[in-house]
Structure 1
Amino acid sequence: MAAKQSEKAKLITDTKNDQNNYAALAQKRNSEVAKLREEQAAANRRALGGSSVSIPGGVPGGGGYPGAWASAPLDAYVDPWGLYTRECVSYVAWKIHSTGRYVPHFGGAGNANQWPSTAARHGISSGSTPKAGAAAVMNIGYYGHVMYVESVNGDGTITVSDYNFAWDGLYRHYTRSASGLTYVYF
């Protein structure tokens, strides 16, 4: 009986130690994610540095994005394409799908900077020529950033819409240079 009680006490101690170790690991990983998000937001801003582009303040729930996703906390859900909601990738996938075009399930390869290669595996081409309705990919930072091309303008700019440019989970609509981007033609 004493041996069983000793074994039980050891299991309880081991479990508490494991729980503390997992909590410390989770806190460390959350700090790493927060740092990556800060770095990505800074990379997004630097990518437009020196240009005349003015990124407007974000709008909650803008762009027609589904209300259940737009009003939920950032990353609260995974959308039908395997992407976290209120992220740039989820918004652009939804926007393309809402125009009747096929968007593949990204299944773990959905960071914005992965879109050209992931799309290519599904027979979707990409290039450097802007086209209305394309996904415009900024291959910067850890994650990259993707925007929906609303229109191509005659002065070398494009008008885009996106979510989460400033890592705030908000919608934006603005005009920026068309150069330096990869376009995915869904």
Structure 2
Amino acid sequence: MKLTAILALCAASLATMTDAYRIYNADTVNCRSSPSTGGSVVRTYKANDDVSLTCQISGENIKGNSLWDKTTHGCYVADYYVKTGSTGYVTGKCNNGGSPPTPPGGGGGGAAGPIKDDYPYPGQCSGIDPWRYFKCQCTSFVAWRINSRLGVKFHNHYKGPNWGNANTWDEAARKTGVPINNSPVPGCIAQTNSGSAGHVAWVAKVSGNSVTIEEYNYKRHKYGTRTVPKNSFNYIHIKR
């Protein structure tokens, strides 16, 4: 990987993040038995309460947002009232019964999902994402994919240590017991220490001695794909 391309990659991450999101936009918010105002009220949250999410699902449109968040209390809150930092998915989709999803990708060789730019912040590259990375960096894109496609609540302090820039993800993986090796599968993370900040990308496809990766900020904070030799990267298997 060229040094000139690396220099713009993966700015430093910020400090601590929790798995919780804050209730806002109302003094009190009902958490319901189904993703609609027709569902019975299971419990009530107050403004600034923290809630943790198990999955998200489409439901009744509330003030222009049809997404609903299932909390760890087993009920649904309209996403309009949960400050996730995004109007889209920040965790896995619930299945039809509203239970946490079976992740569609990951280290077991499952599908990595469609090859497309589904990153929730295209062209909105200022500020911090819900996973405590700078938006439009390679780390932010990969953190989004881990959450949205693997159903793993990954963030900058996943399992304790600071994962930081891309060039320290290999160290963080080893510290936390997350497998890292030279054997890519669709849905694992490609990682290199090359350059000033390293680089991480999403493995979309493996073919012979080549891998097809999806990435952000390889060139100017934008989405792109490349097919490169397998030995270009280490491979982190967040979901085994």
Task: Give your verdict on TM over 0.5.
Answer: yes
Deviation at 1:43, TM superposition (A): 6.9
Deviation at 1:100, TM superposition (A): 3.1
After superposition, the Cα gap between the structure-2 partners of 1:137 and 1:151, relative to the gap in structure 1 and judged at 3 Å, is: same
Select 1:181's aligned residue among 224, 233, 236: 233
- Give the aligned partner of residue 106 of structure 1: 156
Select 1:148's aligned residue among 202, 209, 221: 202
How far, CA to CA, are the matches of 1:135 and 1:123 in structure 2?
15
After superposition, the Cα gap between the structure-2 partners of 1:132 and 1:144, relative to the gap in structure 1 and judged at 3 Å, is: same
- Give the aligned partner of residue 44 of structure 2: none
Select 1:87's aligned residue among 117, 133, 137: 137
What pairs with 1:32-43 in structure 2 (closer than 5 Å)? 39-41=3-5
After superposition, the Cα gap between the structure-2 partners of 1:93 and 1:136, relative to the gap in structure 1 and judged at 3 Å, is: same
Q: Secondary structure at the match of 1:70?
A: coil
Letter in 2 for 1:84: F
Q: Secondary structure at the match of 1:99?
A: helix
Deviation at 1:85, TM superposition (A): 0.8
**Larger RCO (alpha carbons 8 Å, 6+ apart):** 1
Deviation at 1:39, TM superposition (A): 4.8
Deviation at 1:122, TM superposition (A): 3.1
How far, CA to CA, are the matches of 2:128 and 2:223 in structure 1?
18
After superposition, the Cα gap between the structure-2 partners of 1:119 and 1:172, relative to the gap in structure 1 and judged at 3 Å, is: same
- Give the aligned partner of residue 52 of structure 1: none
Greater C-alpha Rg: 1
- Give the aligned partner of residue 49 of structure 1: none
Deviation at 1:142, TM superposition (A): 1.2
**5+ residue gaps in structure 1?**
1-37, 45-61
The answer to whether the 8 Å contact 1:160/1:175 transfers is: yes
How far, CA to CA, are the matches of 2:138 and 2:206 in structure 1?
20
Q: Percent identity?
A: 30
More strand by share: 2
| Number of residues of Structure 1 aligned to a counterpart in Structure 2 | 126
Select 2:117's aligned residue among 38, 63, 68: 63
Letter in 1 for 2:179: S
The answer to whether the aligner puts 1:77 opposite 2:127 as a matched pair is yes
The answer to whether the 8 Å contact 2:214/2:223 transfers is: yes
- Give the aligned partner of residue 130 of structure 1: 184
The answer to whether the 8 Å contact 1:164/1:171 transfers is: yes
The answer to whether the 8 Å contact 1:40/1:142 transfers is: no
With normalisation by structure 1, the TM-score equals 0.61
More helix by share: 1
How far, CA to CA, are the matches of 1:39 and 1:171 in structure 2?
19
Deviation at 1:157, TM superposition (A): 0.4
The answer to whether the aligner puts 1:120 opposite 2:84 as a matched pair is no
